[in-house]
Amino acid sequence: MTKKTIGLILITLLVFGIDTQAQCKINNSFFQAGEEMTYDLYFKYGLINTKAGVSTLKTTSEKYVGKDALKMTLTAKSTGAVKKIFNLNDTLSCYMTKDLVPLAYMKNAEEGKDNTQERVTYTYDKNGVSINAKRHKNGDFKFDETITSSTCMYDMMSVVYYARTLNYSSMKKGNTSKVDFISGRKKVNMVIEYDGIESVDGNDNRKYSCIKLILSIMDDAFSDKKEAMKVYITNDNNRMPVRLDSKLNIGSTRAVLKTYKGNKYTVQTGH
């Protein structure tokens, strides 16, 4: 290879350097600002398995650092008698560009006697993405960590929306997709497993044909999986979450669809 050829290659790399933010862009054809779902929330802990509260999941058009963005927000609140036994008041939000590049993630979780606050911000340049993660628990500072990655990174909210855009038509049960994921202060792998098609009952007297997904976090040795969430999304052009099963520090929750509005397409339902 001549010096002239090497020089041309170097100039090309400098001029057309691969931008991680550009790599992470997705042509989203499944959901839009204005989409909003409400869910009945169930709580399970030991022998306790009862209706516990309400949950909402919505997408809005917002500004983030002065630029157009989407904001996705998930809330979960315990109500009634269950609230006296176990108080749950969680709000998880993320900002993404209109083409679904993660920009920020916020968590404010009251679970039992614990309150956890997290904030994650993403900064992109030609070398990749820099992620700053901060956490406070019960008023005490826990960490302020910055990590870098040359690949796309997702958080607990943005990864759900990313999963809604994957092509499942050619997948077989057990097939997986892996993405890099921010867990606390660490970069780990998030495994999105396609677990087939299931008929799922909503709490609106309708049945939905759903794609079942199991989201798991790999440990540091990348040999074991820790399940984080099960998500059932409609097997249509909306990929709307109908049921979400999540792990808590104590017990687990299940959110079952009650109402929806603002979907991009007509939702396909059974009877």
105 lies in some domain: yes
Strand bridging mode 186-201 / 153-154: unpaired
Checking DSSP bridges between strand 176-183 and strand 67-78, what pairing results, if any? unpaired
**Gap between the Cα atoms of 253 and 45, Å rounded:** 9
Residues 6+ apart with CB under 8 A from 200: 207, 208, 210, 232, 242, 243
Number of C-beta neighbours around residue 172 at 10 A: 8
Residue 236: inside a domain? yes
- How many domains would you assign to the chain? 1
Confidence of residue 247 (pLDDT cuts 50, 70, 90): confident
Tell me, yes or no, whether 270 lies in a domain: no
Could you tell me the two tokens for 54?
A: 């309400």
- Residue 64 inside a domain? The answer is yes
Q: List 64's β-bridge partners, or say none.
A: 67
Q: Which residues contact 226 (CB under 8 A, 6 or more apart)?
A: 216, 217, 218, 219
98/25 Cα distance (integer angstroms): 9
Q: What is the pTM of this model?
A: 0.87
> Is 12 a domain residue?
no
Domain assignment present for residue 269? The answer is no
For residue 228, the model assigns a pLDDT of: 86
In a domain, 156, yes or no: yes
Domain with 122, as residue range(s), is 18-261
| CA distances in angstroms from 102 to 26, 67, 149, 215, listed in the order given | 11, 13, 13, 18
**Position 251 pLDDT exceeds 90:** no
pLDDT single digits (tens) 192-245: 999 999 999 999 999 999 999 999 998 654 456 788 899 999 999 999 999 999
CB-based burial of residue 181 (10 Å sphere; 0-12 exposed, 13-18 middle, 19+ buried)? buried
- So what's the pLDDT on residue 262? 97
Q: How far apart are CA 121 and CA 132, in angstroms?
A: 5
In this structure, is residue 47 part of a structural domain?
Answer: yes
